[in-house]
Structure 1
């Protein structure tokens, strides 16, 4: 039994920041309850996601943008693969990103969203869910700032107008004896700042512990699973861990049905320079930390590695 934190952020953050931070340091993951995303909004979004993915392939493929790096709209099966993986992941997905007004200084970094005409209310529902994810993410980042001894509002300007992406994700059923335990998403780390995941109560998500063991994550229904991304790992010089994780087919009946989830990849703003926090530099090894790099340059570097650009 692991001691991954399972914490309500309806409580004062000063009371839970150390538990959340400890879990992120040890596992790179925490379970967040009472996150404030309305359950009726989640239910509506899940139903619309399933409705979209049930559309014919030719309809879905009309929303695919070749050369767009999967940043917006639909990405079909056989496109994304984990860094250094030999095969593509068994998944299809849809991306919703931030919408900025014309003339905004960061608009060049963010493509326009696509919205499928075939699903009524899709745009309104996922615009609302995107905003709700941002609010929940801001509260988690506030707890992280407290844990790190930073001003509690430290992360607010770093993620303002950030290039965050919400992903609607479907892993198809796998036929035959190979279904049980098959890899749906190969072992990988997330690129971004933090990831907030809805839908992880469907078995299959596993993290790789510091001891080299795969550990299943089993959150209560409706909770968020939150993990540290490579950008925050880089900012903290590894103090908060971006942990390798994967999605496998569970055993039993669940192995033979589709799996749906909705991760929100919360990003720094594209022009934010990821430079190691002074408090995370070892005085005994003052040069032992990553070189500064902008959030956008780091993102592009990593997207090339996973075959999306």
Structure 2
């Protein structure tokens, strides 16, 4: 069975045509790839992880100060037992925090992109958290340039469609699993909602990706690799040329289950008013248009958040 490729993004500058062809082929096949050579410092990643772990170690009543009821978890803290994968009977075994884009409060998107919350108990949380947000946003822009070129678009095609995107950095804590017979998993099988997801710290085992033949393929990356996958919004915009692949985080066996797991995905979203109609360059005789109704990315997001019990 073939493996999910990992590519060095520095080749975009030194060996562009070959890199774009290989990356595009990886996404057409898997919807997933590993990206190394990304230039995000270990100090920033480790410093952010240290602050996120410190926050999740706070008492429950302290964390709940940052839970905004009725917000769908858009910013701040979401406790255990809330998010539930679509069509799953059981909630995921996780708690998480959301950091969003900092925008002027007179922005036309201010009504759908609330201000961030920052936990006052953890020194450096804001600097490291928003520093990592910014670094991943910039890396995502570079990946999207290659994806645009691969389907015959100008390399900057996505940039004015994502520069005010409602993108989210989500530090996640999966606690130790202490019972052997629970029906829940750490993250049920799902597809992501957004354009692309960049996952920092997938070096702990557990992430599995569903292949085209229906097999679950483990994807545990090297520590210096960021896993980047396609979300449903980009799948829709590209008329499924870039597939949004089902994936999950399984509970580890035996003693490994007694250890907590942390991960930090960055969900890169288009601007709220981007219309997700299939691009003409992705429609052909062999791949006819799959969607006949128009929807904006914000409408699509709200529809999906209701499905997973966050709105």
TM-score interval (norm. to shorter): over 0.9
Per-residue CA deviations over 1:12-67 (Å, capped at 9, x if unaligned) read 24331111111111111000001121110001001111100000000001100000
How far the C-alpha of 1:280 sits from its partner, in A, is 1.2
Choose which of 28, 36, 41 in structure 2 pairs with 1:38.
Answer: 41
How far the C-alpha of 1:165 sits from its partner, in A, is 0.3
Aligned to 1:59: 62
Give the Cα–Cα distance (whole angstroms) in 2 for the partners of residues 36 and 218 of structure 1: 20
How far the C-alpha of 1:282 sits from its partner, in A, is 2.3
Cα contact 1:234–1:290 (8 A) shared by 2: no
Give the Cα–Cα distance (whole angstroms) in 1 for the partners of residues 287 and 20 of structure 2: 28
Residue 15 (1) aligns with residue 14 (2): no
Give the Cα–Cα distance (whole angstroms) in 1 for the partners of residues 244 and 290 of structure 2: 18
Greater shift in the superposed pair: 34-43 or 90-99 = 34-43
How far the C-alpha of 1:5 sits from its partner, in A, is 1.7
Aligned to 2:243: 241
Alpha-carbon spacing, 1:255–1:2, altered in 2? closer, same or farther (3 Å): farther
Give the Cα–Cα distance (whole angstroms) in 2 for the partners of residues 212 and 284 of structure 1: 23
Choose which of 194, 197, 205 in structure 1 pairs with 2:196.
Answer: 194
Give the Cα–Cα distance (whole angstroms) in 1 for the partners of residues 33 and 232 of structure 2: 16
Choose which of 87, 110, 129 in structure 2 pairs with 1:126.
Answer: 129
Cα contact 1:281–1:289 (8 A) shared by 2: no
Alpha-carbon spacing, 1:87–1:176, altered in 2? closer, same or farther (3 Å): closer
Cα contact 1:5–1:31 (8 A) shared by 2: yes
Cα contact 1:276–1:292 (8 A) shared by 2: no
Aligned to 1:2: 2
Give the Cα–Cα distance (whole angstroms) in 2 for the partners of residues 228 and 288 of structure 1: 17
Equivalence map 1:62-211=2 (5 Å): 62-178=65-181, 183-211=185-213
Q: Which runs of 4+ in 1 moved over 6 A?
A: none
Give the Cα–Cα distance (whole angstroms) in 2 for the partners of residues 120 and 112 of structure 1: 19
How far the C-alpha of 1:205 sits from its partner, in A, is 0.2
Compute the TM-score of the two structures, normalised by the length of structure 2.
Answer: 0.95
Give the Cα–Cα distance (whole angstroms) in 1 for the partners of residues 153 and 188 of structure 2: 35
Q: State how many pairs are aligned.
A: 308
Cα contact 2:148–2:154 (8 A) shared by 1: yes
Alpha-carbon spacing, 1:39–1:159, altered in 2? closer, same or farther (3 Å): same
How far the C-alpha of 1:287 sits from its partner, in A, is 4.7
Greater shift in the superposed pair: 206-215 or 286-295 = 286-295
> Where in structure 2 are there 5+ consecutive unaligned residues?
none
Cα contact 1:182–1:248 (8 A) shared by 2: no
RMSD across aligned positions (CA): 1.5
Give the Cα–Cα distance (whole angstroms) in 2 for the partners of residues 173 and 287 of structure 1: 45
Aligned to 1:297: 299
How far the C-alpha of 1:226 sits from its partner, in A, is 0.6
Cα contact 1:276–1:290 (8 A) shared by 2: no
Cα contact 1:28–1:241 (8 A) shared by 2: yes
How far the C-alpha of 1:112 sits from its partner, in A, is 0.9
Give the Cα–Cα distance (whole angstroms) in 2 for the partners of residues 144 and 290 of structure 1: 24
Cα contact 1:188–1:245 (8 A) shared by 2: yes
Compute the TM-score of the two structures, normalised by the length of structure 1.
Answer: 0.96
